[in-house]
Amino acid sequence: MTDNNKMHLLGFVQHGVMNHASTMWAHPRDKVGYHWSRPEYWRDLGRTMERGLFDAMFIADELAPYTTYKGNSDPVVKFAGQCPVHEPASVVPIVGAFTKHLGIGITLSTSFVPPYMMARQLSTLDHLTGGRVGWNIVTSYSKSEFQAMGKENLTPRDKRYEVVEEYMQLLYQLWDSWDDDAIVYDRENGVFADPAKVREVDFQGEFFTSKGRHFVAPSPQKRPVLWQAGSSEQGRDFAAKHAESVFGIFPTPKSMRAYADDIRTRASDAGRDPESVKLIYGLQTIIDRDKSRANDRYAEFVEKVQIESALGILSGHTGFDFSTLGLDDNVVDADVQGIRGLFDAILEAKDGAPVTVREAAQIYGVSMGAPVAVGTPSDVADQMEQYVDEGGCNGFMMLATDVPGCFTDMTELLVPELQRRGRFRTRYPGTTLRESLQEY
């Protein structure tokens, strides 16, 4: 078995009562003995993932309640449809303090944080975790976010990537502005650093200006690991140019492979080694030693989905108000202003066959359109091998169901099966997130 066939695993969660499975917060197995807003929950969740040798805990985010569905946020408030959601970066020092190897990836929007402050925050967190921070680069797409932030107009989708491209160029200059030998720590003469080796950045762009030295000493990774989830044409170009890891949700091996081939071609065109861009696809698992019990648990899980909650989230993510359609109407292609990839995942959920709004809600409410693997550890490992071998991905973003139990099942049941097959690591390769991601 070659290293290229080994998988990366990341735990996909959110700093809220709900993760990415609609109404799972109401399940009797969810967060037993924990409260999602308390440090103990995050401490033990991180420890469980590290015991399973996960690359990272990946924390998604949303900055305000969704208001696209029916023009208000009542449905998401009523059913906890990714509401409330607490700030993700606050969790990083907690998870970092109680783990030694697990990376922590956080979603932070470029739309509302000045580049200088973003560089400072991420460098600080990388120090606090000993080099285990990753950043999911997003540009805000939700009308509710812009309204909550006191901004009336969304940045047009075709303009977003022009803005974030310049944003990244400024960040790179800041992160790279301290030479490796800039800090001398000369106690005898009282000299901390050589000013000649700490360059002042003087950036004058179309969208951003900044003049000053980066206010944080070089962190262990110097730059955080960069994640992106580009699905539109501009998004794919951006991901191929900047991302060390790309996250996507695709319902079939065919759609997985098409995306993998496209991103790797674009990365090569951008002058990068295409194999250096790790493709991590969303996957949800229901695992039990007994297959029939796993199927029963999945059926119970599906029954929990509240259609209105799922449609509130789906509408918020895509920017399309699904209340304008009947539940038995077919979903048709639309020029959505939100997350294009998630809308496409619904259109492709039945491999090209029509999908009704009701079916879309059920699919999205369970796994946001990601495939679901149900069964014994062997059954689930078989499906994962198919996605790696036929879909061309490097690993999986494991969507949470009942937490922390689902990650305990992955760690205690699935990981040993993957290791037995030579498909997963048996130890961490180093101390930083970048080392784990680039191991194979």
DSSP class of 244 = S
**Three-state SS for 364?**
helix
The annotation status of 161 as a binding-site residue, yes or no, is yes
Element (H, E) at 172: helix 157-175
What does the alpha-carbon distance between residue 390 and residue 108 come to, in Å, rounded to a whole number? 32
61 annotated as a binding-site residue: yes
402 is in an annotated binding site: no
Task: Give the C-alpha separation, 127 to 144, whole Å.
Answer: 33
Binding residue per annotation — 323? no
Q: Is 231 annotated as a binding residue?
A: yes
Query: Which residues, listed in sequence order, are joined to residue 11 by a DSSP beta bridge?
Result: 57, 398
Q: Which long-range contacts (CB under 8 A, 24 or more apart) does 177-184 make?
A: 177/201, 177/213, 177/214, 178/214, 178/217, 178/218, 180/218, 182/218, 183/217, 183/218
- Are the C-beta atoms of residues 359 and 347 closer than 8 Å to each other? no
Q: Do residues 33 and 90 make contact, with C-beta atoms less than 8 angstroms apart?
A: no
Instruction: Say if residues 412 and 220 touch (Cβ distance below 8 Å).
Output: no
Partners of 281 in the beta sheet? 248, 396
The binding site for FMN comprises: 61, 107, 161, 231-232
The binding site comprises: 61, 107, 161, 231-232
